[in-house]
Amino acid sequence: MTPNKEWTPNSWRAKPIKHNVEYTNQEALGRVLENINNLPPLVSPAEIDRLNKQLEKVSKGEAFLLQGGDCAESFSGCNAQQIEDKIKILLQMSLVMIWGMRVPLIRIARMGGQYAKPRSANTEVVDGKEVLTFRGENINGLEVDDREPNPDRLLRGYFHSAATVNYIRTLLNSDFANLHFPQNWNLEWVKSEDIRSEYKEIINKLADAFDFMKTIGVENGSPTLSSIDFYLSHEGLMLEYEEAMTERIQRISQDESGKTQKKLSFVSLEKLGTDSLEKSGDKYYNLSSHFLWIGDRTRQINGAHVEYFRGIANPIGLKVGPSLDPEELVRLLDILDPDFIPGKVTLIGRYGVSKVQAFLPQYIKAVQATNHKVVWCCDPCHGNTASTPEGYKTREYNNVIGEIGLSFDIHKTLNSKLNGIHLELTGEHVTECTGGSMNIEAKDLSRNYQSFCDPRLNYLQSLDIAFMVAKKYQ
């Protein structure tokens, strides 16, 4: 598809923009963006094309999407242990879900660029002083005296993203992604003996299956068991940065693409056949990530974010909350997916357990009346956020799984299908969300509350959800 002649990577600048960052030093910002524009891409067009094809299968119910990671990454979190923990929990969740659901899983991490967040207010009061709101480490600092937006942080964000991407590639090219690990899962945190026994039974079945395949020689030389497809994503909030990372790709020859894949691929090399290396034509790709999404606060039809997103070849997500009118949703889809490409747009619903039954059916019916074939994804975290009297933002596990369960039921009733889940999670044993098999209570939150943004599901709560989804899907 030839890019729209009226669209360019900077055409968004003529549109009104929400949650923009005001930099006082425009000259410094220009230098930083020029530098970023000249730096190497973080992902390849061939990887993006492959994800597009896989999401097409998700939209048809032939696969399921698992997307998860931090609410907002931090520069200090760009270290080997935390990266490994996030990859590990997503791999373990996907293995449980594949076992129970019997469908392929597409894994997309909220990593390698999720350094900015929209905030409800531009300022906040800290110790009696009004200061600019902390908006993520590629914009400003968490310390009160470091709240002025600094263009150099965009460059730091690029290099931290590059370091994350590079280490993930290293892990995926090593035995870290080898699927022979169920026996080593740590369930000592599960307080309920019944739940622990149930989990152990499933894990033991997985281990037996791998042992059987090893015995009959299936694992020998099998790339499926030792390598995986893995993709990265972030919210496309900072359009100056996204513009700088956007490139017009006129043609990718098989030889050139093959060479690039050997250096950059998140995709198993054995899976990259000729069809993945086809000539891409003349398209614009955002090469900062495989998948980007528009937030619930920046999806204005005539706004800058929708204008930018409509021109890129990447698969894109659209957060859908109760404030969106069904007719407006259809108009957004017509803008973002004018060619009716299956899986091009992932609709990420974020309603809350108390509102999902009132709103989700409207959106399903509205989309069913069109030719758009979307990926229906449930974000059960954002609509279920609450604050304790002590000031901790938290989420109750039962509300999270409640929204997932209701979403499955609503889709089934309307002859539709929930195609994925989108979670804010971590592979660490934090205490930020209540409930789950650890039986975390509000009084326990202070024990290990680490998030500087929104609360995340911890390692075991994330596994709890994987087991729950695997059961519900059957």
Which parts are annotated binding residues for phosphoenolpyruvate? Answer: 110, 319, 350
Distances (CA, A) of 380 to 377, 408, 422, 456: 10, 12, 7, 12
Q: Which residues are annotated as a binding site?
A: 71, 110, 319, 350, 382, 424, 454
- 3-class secondary-structure state, position 320: strand
Distances (CA, A) of 393 to 343, 385, 426: 33, 7, 16
Q: Which residues contact 86 (CB under 8 A, 6 or more apart)?
A: 69, 70, 109, 111, 425, 426, 427
Closest CA to 347 of 369, 324, 338: 324
Distances (CA, A) of 387 to 233, 383, 390, 393, 442: 28, 13, 8, 4, 10
Distance between CA atoms of 15 and 198, rounded to whole angstroms?
54
- 3-class secondary-structure state, position 234: strand
- 3-class secondary-structure state, position 146: helix
Classify each residue of 209-232 as buried b or exposed e, where b means 16 or more C-beta atoms within 10 Å of its C-beta: ebeebeeeeebeeeeebbbbbbbb
Distance between CA atoms of 1 and 310, rounded to whole angstroms?
13
**Is there a contact between 429 and 396 (Cβ–Cβ < 8 Å)?**
no
**Residues β-bridged to residue 316:** 292, 345
Distance between CA atoms of 286 and 382, rounded to whole angstroms?
26
Closest CA to 293 of 236, 333, 342: 236
Q: Which residues contact 200 (CB under 8 A, 6 or more apart)?
A: 187
Distance between CA atoms of 77 and 93, rounded to whole angstroms?
21
Query: Which tokens go with 14?
Result: 């003529």
Q: State the pairing for strand pair 123-126/129-132.
A: antiparallel
Distance between CA atoms of 356 and 229, rounded to whole angstroms?
32
Distance between CA atoms of 151 and 132, rounded to whole angstroms?
16
Q: What are phi and psi of 192, to 5 degrees?
A: -80, 125
Q: Which residues are annotated as a binding site for Mn(2+)?
A: 71, 382, 424, 454
Q: Which residues contact 113 (CB under 8 A, 6 or more apart)?
A: 42, 73, 157, 161, 232, 233, 234, 288, 289
